[in-house]
């Protein structure tokens, strides 16, 4: 009983009770002494009473004064040292403890720093040992990431209850809303996949581990994906399944176009062919037809033949257009095309550096330019060949320039009529231009001439070396089977978010100008799964607010409004606990717009201000800057007071707080919310 009572009472309260008991005990002893003196010495009672009251008040005042000094110089510094030691032990913080806060505790603060240094050294030694033991695993992991991430097909590994625990970059490109621990049906229409999984399970029960195919639409209906699903069986139990898929949207569209072209051609040919056959039959059987009638029939046959050729030509043109759209192109750096041309030893050509990207078959374009340079240089009357790129609207024009004799369009097209390369068979430069729906022309004046090749511009793809270490997690917690409040904090996914606004009064007409969010799954910050969008507030941004977050009216002029951004952010937060620094402020702006957004932000919410007040009650400093300093987190100056910068900082703080909460016995969401509720009154007196 005494131990439980001690745990419930804080250190400062216990010291206060100690000095109160000391003061009351002193008063009791003074009263007893005076009473004993009165019994032995006698005399007027008033003198004893007055003396006793003065002595009692003095003892109580002295006890209170010494108690306050003890609280200021002993109790609070002890709590600060304990908090710092706990933070460094549980949150992996290696900062030195400030000994100045415990200057009246003698060697206790240096001893705490010695413990902290020993802890840091032990942690470093452990890290070195773990690094040595896991070097081989790290190499295998890097190999796995490189192989899997850059597969040409989309790949997803899902848990038995269809939550994502691995995906690659192609899957992210095809299904932009995919994310760790998100349900598959959030990105894929579930029926075809569920049917394939049913067939997989039936085969597994029969002892066969086979792959089943599926054709499913993305959740937004914009893409059709063709793929296969394979079970993952471990110790005769289903551990999940792998989905490998590719974009079949163009294939289906091409199939539909081909079917349409065939039907159009069939209908267009049937009538003229029937008419021609009928007219020819009349001409053959009508030997006594007058010349005028026979001429009319011949004219009719000519007209139907012309109509027939028109149908054939039109269909051929549509077929060519459809084929050109199917030509395999990708985003290619112009510099890579130029490097391929210059790599040919027989060619002498310079190239102007360019960062442009074009959508094309890079090998075909390099071969085409090389062929042109070879033919231009054969005459010996041209020199100074140079390659450059020029932007023109949605196009990037590859330019081959030279000095000397002009080259006519006829010569150029003649050079391109030969096969480009043995790798392409009979495929010529002219075929390549037709396939890319492009052309080529010569222009120039005097001795300066050039050939221009226009190609569609493209954006740079995700580079293979881009770090994305959060695309898989094989240790996802099991599917939730309890009330949200009773679930362990380690089983939850979180969205840490922050908003920037036109001002501080949501009910006074201020609006959101930026929202940023960052997911935390399984205790890891997923830096590859973020939300960041400017918002058009529909009103001017005051200069005072712009000085804080640096967002101007010009920046949000073309941005979407809160209805669009709010819906996308709501989808991003689906199934997650919301976390923010001073969450009531940010949520007030969102909840006031729920009718406009047509979505309810009814997710559970945690606030790092209240969490800090509960964890570090000995201090009144709970600002984001103060918390970052406590945990050794650095916020770049250019990122502070930006939505994403503050979001990242809050996320870093939050994951460290989770460890401290668990150390205090707070392991469930309900427990964390209850702890916040206990601090609500304290929050009003704190700076944040």
* 436 inside domain: yes
CATH number at residue 185: 3.30.450.20
488 and 364 part of one domain: no
Angle (CA) 149-155-161 rounded to 5° is 125
350 and 393 part of one domain: yes
Q: Which pLDDT belongs to residue 336?
A: 87
CATH number at residue 588: 3.30.420.10
90 and 185 part of one domain: no
Checking if the pLDDT of 145 tops 80, the result is no
Active site residues: 641
Question: How many helices (DSSP H) and strands (DSSP E) are in the chain?
Answer: 24, 17
Mean pLDDT of the region 544-572: 93
What is the residue-averaged pLDDT of the chain?
80
554 and 674 part of one domain: yes
Report which of residues 50 and 376 the model is more confident about: 376
**Most trustworthy range by pLDDT among 178-182, 254-258, 297-301, 484-488:** 178-182
Helix ranges, 573-623 (H): 583-592, 594-597, 608-615
Among 75, 98, 131, residue at a domain's last position: 131
Checking if the pLDDT of 620 tops 70, the result is no
* 474 inside domain: no
Helix (H) or strand (E) holding 656: helix 643-663
148 and 125 part of one domain: no
Q: Which pLDDT belongs to residue 5?
A: 45
* 558 inside domain: yes
* 462 inside domain: no
63 and 188 part of one domain: no
- Assess contact for 130 and 138: CB atoms under 8 A: no
Beta strands in 341-432, from DSSP E residues, in sequence order: 350-351, 357-360, 382-392, 395-404
Checking if the pLDDT of 555 tops 50, the result is yes
* 461 inside domain: no
pLDDT tens, residue by residue, 579-588? 999 888 999 9
Domains contained in the chain, number = 5
Count CB-CB contacts under 10 A for residue 677. 11
- Assess contact for 94 and 88: CB atoms under 8 A: yes
* 374 inside domain: yes
125 and 211 part of one domain: no
Among 112, 131, 150, residue at a domain's last position: 131
242 and 256 part of one domain: no
Cα→Cα distances 95→76, 112, 204, 650, 663, Å: 20, 12, 54, 19, 20
Residue that is written with structure tokens 């706990």 in the block: 86
425 and 337 part of one domain: yes
* 192 inside domain: yes
Q: Containing domain of residue 196, as a range?
A: 139-247
Among 279, 308, 325, residue at a domain's last position: 325
What's the CA gap between 157 and 491, in Å, rounded? 19
125 and 157 part of one domain: no
Checking if the pLDDT of 194 tops 70, the result is yes
> Which pLDDT band holds residue 89 (cuts at 50, 70, 90)?
low
**Sequential DSSP letters for 112-133:** HHHHHHHHHHHHHHHHHHHHHH
37 and 88 part of one domain: yes
520 and 550 part of one domain: yes
* 299 inside domain: yes
């Amino acid at each position: 009983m005494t131990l439980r009572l001690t745990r419930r009472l804080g250190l400062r309260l216990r010291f206060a009770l100690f000095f109160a008991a000391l003061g009351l005990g002193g008063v009791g002893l003074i009263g007893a002494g005076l009473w004993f003196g009165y019994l032995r010495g006698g005399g007027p009672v008033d003198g004893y009473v007055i003396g006793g009251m003065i002595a009692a008040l003095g003892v109580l005042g002295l006890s209170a004064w010494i108690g306050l000094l003890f609280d200021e110089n002993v109790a609070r510094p002890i709590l600060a040292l304990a908090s710092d030691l706990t933070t460094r032990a549980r949150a992996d913080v290696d900062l030195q403890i400030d000994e100045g806060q415990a200057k009246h505790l003698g060697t206790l603060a240096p001893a705490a720093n010695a413990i902290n240094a020993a802890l840091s050294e032990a942690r470093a030694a452990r890290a070195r040992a773990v690094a040595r033991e896991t070097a081989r695993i790290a190499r295998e992991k890097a190999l796995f990431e490189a192989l899997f991430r850059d597969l040409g097909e989309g790949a997803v590994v899902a848990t038995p209850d269809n939550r994502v625990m691995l995906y690659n970059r192609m899957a992210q490109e095809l299904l932009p809303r995919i994310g760790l621990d998100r349900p598959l049906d959030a990105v894929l229409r579930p029926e075809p996949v569920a049917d394939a999984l049913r067939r997989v399970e039936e085969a597994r029960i029969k002892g066969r581990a086979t792959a089943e195919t599926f054709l499913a639409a993305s959740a937004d209906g914009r893409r059709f994906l063709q793929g296969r699903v394979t079970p993952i069986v471990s110790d005769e139990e289903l551990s999940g399944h792998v989905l490998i898929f590719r974009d079949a949207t163009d294939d289906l569209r091409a199939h539909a176009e081909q079917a349409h072209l065939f039907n159009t051609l069939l209908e267009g040919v049937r009538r003229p062919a029937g008419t021609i056959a009928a007219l020819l039959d009349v001409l053959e059987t009508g030997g006594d037809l007058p010349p005028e009638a026979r001429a009319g029939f011949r004219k009719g046959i000519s007209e139907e033949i012309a109509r027939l050729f028109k149908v054939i030509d039109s269909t051929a043109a549509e077929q060519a257009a459809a084929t050109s759209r199917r030509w395999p192109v990708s985003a290619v750096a112009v510099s890579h095309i130029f490097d391929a041309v210059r790599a040919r030893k027989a060619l002498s050509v310079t190239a102007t550096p360019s960062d442009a990207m074009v959508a094309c078959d890079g090998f075909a374009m390099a071969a085409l330019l090389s062929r042109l340079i070879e033919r231009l240089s054969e005459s010996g009357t041209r020199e100074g060949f140079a390659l450059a790129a020029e932007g023109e609207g949605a196009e990037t024009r590859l330019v081959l320039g030279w000095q000397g004799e002009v080259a006519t369009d006829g010569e150029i097209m003649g050079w391109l009529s030969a096969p480009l390369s043995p790798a392409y068979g009979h495929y010529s430069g002219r075929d390549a231009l037709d396939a890319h729906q492009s052309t080529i022309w010569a222009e120039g004046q005097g001795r300066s001439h050039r050939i221009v090749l226009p190609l569609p511009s493209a954006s740079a793809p995700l580079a293979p070396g881009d770090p994305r270490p959060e695309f898989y997690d094989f240790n996802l917690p099991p599917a939730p089977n309890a009330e949200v409040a009773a679930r362990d904090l380690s089983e939850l996914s979180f969205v840490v978010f922050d908003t920037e606004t036109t001002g501080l009064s949501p009910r006074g007409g201020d609006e959101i100008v930026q929202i940023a969010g960052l997911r935390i799954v399984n205790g890891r910050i997923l830096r590859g799964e973020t939300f960041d969008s400017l918002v058009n507030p529909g009103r001017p941004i005051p200069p005072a607010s712009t000085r804080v977050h640096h967002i101007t009216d010009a920046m949000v002029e073309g941005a979407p409004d809160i209805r669009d951004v709010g819906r996308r952010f709501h989808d991003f937060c689906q199934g997650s606990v919301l976390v923010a620094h001073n969450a009531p402020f940010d949520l007030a702006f969102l909840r006031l717009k729920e009718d406009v957004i047509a979505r309810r932000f009814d997710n559970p919410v945690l606030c790092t201000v209240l969490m800090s007040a509960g964890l570090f009650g000995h201090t009144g400093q709970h600002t984001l800057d103060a918390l970052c300093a406590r945990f050794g987190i650095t916020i770049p100056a250019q990122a502070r007071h930006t939505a994403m910068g503050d979001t990242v900082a809050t996320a870093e703080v939050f994951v460290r707080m989770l460890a401290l909460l668990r150390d205090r016995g707070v392991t469930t969401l309900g427990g964390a919310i209850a702890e916040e509720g206990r601090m609500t009154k304290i929050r009003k007196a704190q700076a944040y």
